[in-house]
Amino acid sequence: MNVEETIKTEKIIPLKQRSIIHLSLVENKINEVITNALKPYEVSLQQFNVLRILRGQKGKPANLSTLNERMVTKMSNTTRLVDKLITKGFVGRETCESNRRKVEITITNKGKAILLDMDNAMKNAEDMLLDKFTTEELNQLNKLLDKF
C-alpha cells in the first residue's frame, strides 16, 4: 500500500508522520476485511472477540471484568455486547448463587457452532490480508510491532 497514492498527495511526508498514516491505513483495511467476513453472521468484531474469550474458558463462566480485561479492543460497553449476544442465543447469563452481584456469562452450544463457522471466515480473511508475507516476514513484523 503506497501511502502517498492512497491519500492522493505528491508531497513528501516526513517518515514518522508517514509511518503513523501507514499504520492507520493498514488498520482501516484490516477492519474493513474482518467486518465483511463477519457480516453474514451479523456479529461485530468485538462480539466475535467475546465469543472467542468465552470459548477459551472451556466451559467455565466469565464475568464482565474478565471479558473486559481480555478484549483486544478495550471498551466500556461490554454489557451491551453481551446483551446482543444473549438476544442472538450465542451466550447465556446467570447470576452467581454465592454472590448475587456477580454475573456469570457462558457460551451456548449455538454460540460454539456459529463460532466454528466464523473461525473459517476469519481464517480466509487473514489469509487474504497476509498472503503476500512469508512466515519470516510475519515474524519480523511482529517483532517490530512488539516495540509499541
| Alpha-carbon distances, residue 140 vs 3, 91, 127, 134, 135 (angstroms) | 21, 37, 17, 10, 9
| Cβ 45 vs Cβ 31: under 8 Å | yes
pLDDT at 48 (0 to 100): 95
**C-alpha of 92 from chain center:** 20
What percent of the chain is predicted at pLDDT more than 90? 70
Looking at the structure, do residues 49 and 32 belong to the same domain, yes or no?
no
Q: Place 5 in a pLDDT band, splitting at 50, 70 and 90.
A: confident
Same domain, 92 and 59: yes
With bands split at pLDDT 50, 70 and 90, how would you rate the model's confidence at 113? Answer: very high
Query: What is the CATH number for 97?
Result: 1.10.10.10
pLDDT over 90 (residue 10) = no
The rounded percent of the chain whose pLDDT value lies above 70 is: 99
Residues 52 and 84 in one domain: yes
Is 146 domain-assigned?
no
Q: Which parts of 78-134 fold into alpha helices (H)?
A: 78-87, 109-130
Note the pLDDT of residue 14: 87
The predicted pLDDT at position 7 comes to 82
- Residue 133 lies inside a defined structural domain of this protein: no
Same domain (yes/no): 57, 109: yes
Q: Containing domain of residue 29, as a range?
A: 1-41
Whether 50 and 119 map to the same domain: the answer is: yes
Q: Are 3 and 74 part of one and the same domain?
A: no
- Residue 25 confidence class, pLDDT cut points 50, 70, 90: very high
Q: Please tell me whether residues 56 and 99 are part of one structural domain.
A: yes
> pLDDT by residue (tens digit) across 33-77?
999 999 999 999 999 999 999 999 998 999 888 898 898 877 678
Listed in sequence order, the residues at least 6 apart from 62 whose beta carbon sits closer than 8 Å to its beta carbon are 53, 54, 104, 105, 106
CA distance 92 to 85: 8
Q: Is residue 16 part of a domain?
A: yes
The domain tally of the chain equals 2
Q: Are residues 58 and 109 in the same domain?
A: yes
pLDDT at 85: 96
Better pLDDT: 10 or 133: 133
- Are residues 63 and 28 located together in one domain of the fold? no
Average pLDDT, rounded, for the chain: 91
